[in-house]
Amino acid sequence: MKGSGYLRLWWVALWFLLIGGQRLYGEWQFIAGDFISGVCAIGNEVWTAESDGRVRHSTDAGQTWEVLQTPTYERLYGVFFVDSNEGWVVGQDGFIFHTTDGGQTWTQQFPTVAVWFNDVVFVSATEGWVIGQSGTILHTTDGGQTWTQQTSGTTRFLRDITALDATHLYIVGSSGTVLKTSDGGQTWVSLPSPTSSTLYGVGFEDTLKGWVVGSSGKIFRTEDGGQTWVQQTSGTTNSLYAIAVTGPDTAWVVGKDGTILHTTDGGNTWNVTTDITVNWFYNVTFSETGIGWIVGSGGAIYGSTDGGNTWEPKVLETCMGFRRVIFGDATHVWATGVDGTIMYSEDAGLTWVRQNVPYDGWFFGADFINGSTGWAAGYDGTIVHTTDGGQTWELQNSGTTTDLVDVSAVDENTAWIVGKDGLILHTTDGGQTWTQQTSGTAVDFKSVTFYNANLGIAVGQSGTLLRTEDGGQTWTAISVPTASDLYDVSFGDSSHVWVVGKDGTILYSEDAGLTWSLQTSGTTVDFYRVKFIDTAEGWATGGALGVALVAHTTDGGQTWELVDLPTIMAIWGVDFVDRHLGVLVGNGGVIFRYEAAPTYPTLTIAEIQGQSDASPYVGDTVTTTGIVTGVYSNGFFMEERPGGAWHGIWVYTSSAPTVSVGDSIVITAEVNEYYDMTELLNIVDLQVLASGLPLPGPTALNSGEVPQEMYEGVFVRVDSAICVAPDLGYGEWLIDDGSGPCRVDDKGVSYLPDSGEMYTVQGPVFYSYGEYKIEPRDSSDIIHIVAVAEQNSHPLYPFDLQIRTQSDGVIFMKYVIPNRSPVRLEIYNVLGQRIRVLSQGVKLPGTYTIIWDGTDVEGTHVGPGIYFCRLIAGERALSQRFWWIP
């Protein structure tokens, strides 16, 4: 529900500020419909002014459209652009909005008078006029920064304004009002009126010749500047809402029920276009290039590129108003309404087509039992039936001319229909015959719903509620705590039932409709429809003039939340497949679609892995977080802190990933087992939370520990292992540190190892073709450890290096050199980084001992782990691995 116009605008403006200019409407998406009152065209560009504050814009003669939102929900009536960028729209509650970027952004202008504005015209980028309620005429000479009220001499509603130039303008309005100015509005003169009826449109080809059009098909022509008028034969009694003068003696007129009239002889004859009859048309215009536009109800936009000889729909058009929407199944949905309208969607409400129906009156009720079979009912006892999804509809004999308002079907043969004067019809043969059931009342019914072939409830005027447990053989009147009209009923299950009605009434029963209590809805606006998905969640819709009412509950109606839908149209129809998918329809032929973002369980990577050979969540879509540890051509590895067994996983992307090593991410994707490799794929959403973060430290393993399920996807490191097989094929090779072999693969980098050489290798663990493999990310993940064999050059002093670790953690290093040589004794970590030089200089032949206390070159103690001592004496070198445990 909405408040007053200016209060609503203040909240909208605040919301715009808070969300950076984007409009948020929860999960509801505008699909089609609306009342389009204004249209303006410049060449191939066109703009429309619509209900709910929307403006549509096309730059390619209507081939494509962009829906733009002004800072209001209210109905817009007039639109005028002076070029491709600058324009104005006006509407209810005194709104004037101005744009300088083609409608992408709008700024409100504040006139001295705030009334209902109906039209706007500009003769330059600075000078323009706005007209509206109470005889209001506003004038600006600075592009709308300031507006000055001009004296109209009337308090009547002014409907349309046209300008020949900056001095000659004409206005028409209610009660036959015709105004003229020859001095730019300094003075407005009331011209003789040709009628006492409302005039909606005015058009002049010069200062003498022109037309006015109005209610009941009236068209008047003047050739003396409006001093005298001659009524012309329009050939219709439909109200005419707009006129566009396109040349000498040439004009187009549009109006109610799809009326399109055209003259080329000054109106002596008016030709009728008869191929468009489904909508009311509110405006018509032609650009200077001859492209024509007609707009109206149901979101109708028709365009012509041949001077009006042919008109083509440029958007999905609906109707003046819908009354019901029904899902046959999860994808097939129908909406019924005025003028014999039945719209159909086979993609759950995203796109719609009109179905051909042998009836042109109002359809009030409809029901489908699946994607093929259904009924619709309307005025004068009309029933139509389909068994092929609406490709064909057949009239069925109801046996009555009483207006029918609702349908409830339980299978292909069994259905009920209710109507005025207490009428209840029933069929058990698919509608070949309809029989009347005894309701015991003469009030007008509004709705009927059956839970199964036996249990049903019908509701109607003055608090009427009837219940049956035997398929309608007997109907029992049930007392309810209200005398308000009741409009609709919905079962949550066989026991829980809700009824909605006038003045915000909501009734609730938990004993299958035997007893009822009132629920607090929080509104006094009428509810027309209710739909419960289960016993907890339901939707109720309704409205009034200028008010859309949508209420939602998730606790069985104990509390109802009013939902701010982006429309002021009353909502007459609601249906949901489940809590995630629904459709609303209403006045103006509006269609809104609800699709809730699916909710997925949030799991840790360890939970996804499940600590078993296969994930327990295979086939499920889940959300998880972690840090990217390795990126490859068709996916990446991620790991959650602190890392280690079961905490890593492979993410398959099929193409180059968009993430980088060190990215902290949250990802939603499907869990899969690809030939026993647990992975994530079919990414639904991926967001990078932070970049450049330190990775979980590689898990240090012996080579024989690597081939285990628990390390699948985990970032690991194997220190000082010997290459025992340099080429296993397909870029794979084998290392072994004495605990057992493990494979190294070339998914991230190709490397040619030497057999018998020592390597430290790190990378995530991958599983394919029945083998676990370390996948180095680049060449820095493979460290070749060089070890030089012992060389004897002096019989008394063999070249040697020995390391002994004491229980107190002190490291004794003894080395022997056979001859005088420059000597350097160094400590390295497993990454090949030099930690400290322990001895350096020229040494004589002999034995030397050095003690290392575990500190680096800066005197800081290093962490526990594997280190290497390297002795270089002249051209000779020796290396030895040792453990440092503080």
Query: Do 498 and 465 touch, CB atoms closer than 8 A?
Result: no
Alpha-carbon 879 to chain mean position = 64
pLDDT tens-digit series, residues 331-368: 999 999 998 999 999 999 999 999 999 999 999 999 99
- Residue 629 backbone zone (phi > 0: left; psi -120 to 50: alpha; other: beta): alpha
| DSSP symbols for 642-699 | T--TT-EEEEE-SS--S--TT-EEEEEEEEEEETTEEEEEEEEEEEEEESSPPPPPPE
Query: Do 639 and 627 touch, CB atoms closer than 8 A?
Result: yes
Q: 824 vs 366, which has greater pLDDT?
A: 366
pLDDT > 60? residue 792: no
CA distance 293 to 43: 11
Supply the pLDDT for residue 789.
38
Q: Is the peptide bond before 642 cis (omega within 30 degrees of 0)?
A: yes
Supply the pLDDT for residue 6.
33
pLDDT tens-digit series, residues 776-790: 999 999 988 764 433
Q: What number is the average pLDDT over the span 572-582?
A: 94
pLDDT tens-digit series, residues 622-659: 999 999 999 999 999 999 988 899 999 999 999 999 99
391: burial class by Cβ within 10 Å (0-12, 13-18, 19+)? exposed
SS3 177: coil
3-state secondary structure 613-647: CCCCCCCCEEEEEEEEEEEECCEEEEECCCCCCCC
Instruction: Give the position of tokens 């109209």.
Output: 152
pLDDT tens-digit series, residues 202-242: 999 999 999 999 999 999 999 999 999 999 999 999 999 99
Q: Is the dihedral of CA 366, 370, 371, 374 positive or negative?
A: negative
pLDDT tens-digit series, residues 699-751: 999 999 999 999 999 999 998 788 889 999 999 999 987 788 999 999 999 99
pLDDT > 70? residue 258: yes
Supply the pLDDT for residue 20.
29
Please give the single-letter amino acid code of residue 761: V
Q: What number is the average pLDDT over the span 248-273?
A: 94
The residue among 122, 531, 184, 129 whose CA lies nearest residue 326 is: 531
Which token pair is 360? 């042109």
pLDDT > 70? residue 278: no
Supply the pLDDT for residue 274.
67
Beta-carbon count within 10 A of 484 CB: 18
Rounded to two decimals, the pTM is 0.71
Range scoring the smallest mean pLDDT among 307-321, 599-613, 830-844: 830-844
Type and span of the H or E element at 9: helix 5-19
Q: Which residues of 329-363 are buried (b: 16+ CB within 10 A; e: fewer)?
A: eeebbbbbbbbbbbbbbbebbeebeebebebeebb
CA distance 792 to 795: 7
Supply the pLDDT for residue 807.
62
Q: How many residues does the chain have?
A: 886
CA distance 149 to 138: 4
pLDDT > 50? residue 793: no
High-pLDDT (> 70) share of the chain, %: 95
| Torsion angles phi and psi, residue 10, rounded to 5 | -60, -45
Q: Which residues of 840-874 are buried (b: 16+ CB within 10 A; e: fewer)?
A: eeebeeeeeeeebebeeeeeeeeeeeebbbbbbbb
Alpha-carbon 150 to chain mean position = 45
Supply the pLDDT for residue 400.
97
pLDDT > 90? residue 128: yes
pLDDT > 60? residue 794: no
Type and span of the H or E element at 294: strand 292-296
Q: Where are the alpha helices (DSSP H) in 693-808?
A: none
Which token pair is 831? 């990454």
CA distance 344 to 336: 9
**The dihedral formed by the CA atoms of 847, 868, 779 and 756, expressed in degrees to the nearest 10:** 70
pLDDT > 90? residue 267: yes
Q: Which long-range contacts (CB under 8 A, 24 or more apart) does 665-668 make?
A: 665/625, 665/626, 665/627, 665/628, 665/638, 665/689, 666/623, 666/624, 666/625, 667/623, 667/624, 667/625, 667/626, 667/638, 668/600, 668/621, 668/622, 668/623
Beta-carbon count within 10 A of 709 CB: 19
Range scoring the smallest mean pLDDT among 117-126, 282-291, 296-305, 863-872: 863-872
Q: 426 vs 597, which has greater pLDDT?
A: 426
CA distance 636 to 223: 79
pLDDT > 60? residue 51: yes
DSSP state of 461: G
Return all residues near 628 (Cβ < 8 A) that are at least 6 apart.
636, 637, 638, 659, 660, 661, 662, 663, 665
Supply the pLDDT for residue 861.
85
SS3 703: helix
Q: CA Rg, the chain, in Å?
A: 40
Q: pLDDT band at residue 540, thresholds of 50, 70 and 90?
A: very high
Q: Which long-range contacts (CB under 8 A, 24 or more apart) does 666-669 make?
A: 666/623, 666/624, 666/625, 667/623, 667/624, 667/625, 667/626, 667/638, 668/600, 668/621, 668/622, 668/623, 669/621, 669/622
3-state secondary structure 385-405: EECCCCCCCEEECCCCCCCEE
Range scoring the smallest mean pLDDT among 279-283, 378-382, 499-503, 771-775: 279-283
High-pLDDT (> 90) share of the chain, %: 77
H helix count then E strand count, the chain: 2, 75
Q: pLDDT band at residue 823, thresholds of 50, 70 and 90?
A: confident
882: burial class by Cβ within 10 Å (0-12, 13-18, 19+)? middle
Supply the pLDDT for residue 670.
96
Q: What is the mean pLDDT of the chain?
A: 91
Supply the pLDDT for residue 8.
34
SS3 439: coil
